Amino acid sequence: MLAYKVVMVGDFGVGKTSLVKRYVENSFSEEYLSTIGVSISKKSLENATIMLWDIEGQTEFKPVSKQYLLGSKGFIVVADIHRQNTIDSIKTHIELCHSIVKDAPICIAFNKNDLPNNLAANTVDELYKISDQIINISFTSAKEDVGVNDIFTALNSFVTNSLGH
Ligand code: GDP
Ligand code: MG
């Protein structure tokens, strides 16, 4: 059975850990427990097993540790839909991912879509222009379980197809 690595990337507090918890355990917590280092979860699908690497969020003072990105078959870049600075960081995260794994597919999740936001109408179109490797941009809510399965399913289809499975 094919097993491959996917890394969750994004600023601190955007909901990386919550998306993984929702996807793998179908649970959610309001409590904020910051991820230290890396936590790896396994999700078994019909045609593959995804090893989901949930890494510590980037902050002004602490960059993402590049070695965590090595060998990843895909990335999920997460932003918090009501914090513009986390959306502005998406481009930097993509560049970082591609500096380590050239050509890996990328899914972008605008998380916390259950909260009010005033996202500019052209944001999604503009993001697709950043890289040909962006295969999916979705609006998600880890809290209300909206769109979460879809991002992982899109990434899994792409990765398994490209690996010939
Ligand atoms: P991480 O630092 O990117 O791993 O972020 P966490 O998953 O730890 O989430 C940070 C905070 O945002 C926590 O208090 C979560 O409960 C909250 N959170 C995560 N996802 C959502 C969501 O979809 N909606 C709302 N309203 N809150 C969320
Ligand atoms: Mg976390």
What distance in angstroms lies between residue 71's CA and the mean position of ligand 2's atoms?
20
Rounded to whole angstroms, the maximal C-alpha distance in the chain is: 43
Query: Counting ligands in written order, which one lies closest to the CA of residue 148?
Result: 1
| pLDDT per residue as tens digits for the range 25-75 | 999 988 877 777 889 999 999 999 999 999 987 666 677 778 899 999 999
Has residue 138 got a pLDDT over 70? yes
Where in the chain are the domains? 2-162
Share of the chain above pLDDT 90, in %: 82
**Pick from 59, 61, 69: nearest CA to 34:** 59
Residue 164 alpha carbon to ligand 2 centre in Å: 32
First to last CA, the chain: 9
Q: Can you point out the beta strands (E) in the chain?
A: 3-10, 38-44, 49-55, 74-80, 106-111, 134-139
Distance, C-alpha 123 to centroid of its chain: 17
| Separation of alpha carbons 41 and 19, rounded Å | 12
List ligand 1's pocket residues with C-beta within 6 A. 10, 12-18, 29-30, 32, 35, 57, 111-112, 114-115, 141-143
Per-residue pLDDT tens over the stretch 61-109:
677 778 899 999 999 999 999 999 999 999 999 999 999 999 999 999 9
Contact indicator for 109, 147 with CB cutoff of 8 Å:
yes
Alpha helices in 29-147 (DSSP H): 84-88, 90-100, 123-128
The fourth-level CATH superfamily of domain 2-162 is P-loop containing nucleotide triphosphate hydrolases (3.40.50.300)
pTM (2 d.p.): 0.95
- Which atom of ligand 1 approaches the CA of 35 most closely? 4
CA of 68 to the centre of ligand 1 (A): 21
Residue closest by Cα to atom 25 of ligand 1: 112
